[in-house]
Amino acid sequence: MPNHCTNILEIDGDAETIERIREVLDDREREDEALTFEGLLPRPEALKGIKYGRSTIGGKTVKRWKETEDSGRVPITEAETKRLREKHGGADLLEWSRAHWGTKWNSYWSELEEEGGESLRYRFTTAWGPPDQFVAALREAFPKATIQLHFREPNMGMAGTL
């Protein structure tokens, strides 16, 4: 169970930019969620199904493996791990998410609190800390917009504005 970080994402800009941002952030996959990081930074399909942790396969301890219907658990070799990192920026979804979103999971408990012609305000939760890498990518993708993230994670004493 993670520490939950509460986030408020405030976005201001011209009406056209705000509409484009809303389209990118709108979560169409998860029924009860308003915001997704995957609209801007989708997780690579090639990493889905790769498990990270510790497992013993064929008498060897491995950090990453893939489960297949044919062979069961198949270890991911160091060479494959390196190739995945070079190609996708991560060797599994946890590593990729931390590197590209700044947090291990997509947003959750999200809602669009305010929507005007030239502004958006989302409230959502992330695991352990704010999605700083996602916010940086959002700013890069929409340089005309003013984007601020206010966050608070009381268990670790973190709070601030990005």
> In the chain, how many domains are there?
2
Give the phi and the psi of residue 49 in degrees, each rounded to 5.
Answer: 95, -15
Give the phi and the psi of residue 3 in degrees, each rounded to 5.
Answer: -75, 135
Q: Which domain holds residue 9?
A: 4-41+102-161
Q: What is the pTM of this model?
A: 0.87
**CATH code where residue 113 lies:** 3.30.70.1270
The Cα angle at residue 157 between residues 154 and 161, in degrees rounded to 5: 90
Instruction: Indicate the helix (H) or strand (E) that contains 18.
Output: helix 15-25
Residue 142 shares a structural domain with residue 155? yes
In which residue are the tokens 């999971």 written? 105
In whole angstroms, give the CA distance from residue 65 to residue 67: 7
Residue 110 shares a structural domain with residue 68? no
Residue 79 shares a structural domain with residue 148? no
* Per-residue pLDDT tens digits of the chain, which is 162 residues long: 679 999 999 999 999 999 999 999 998 888 888 999 999 999 999 898 888 888 888 888 888 888 877 778 888 889 998 999 999 999 999 999 999 999 999 999 999 998 888 999 999 999 999 999 999 999 999 999 999 999 999 888 889 899
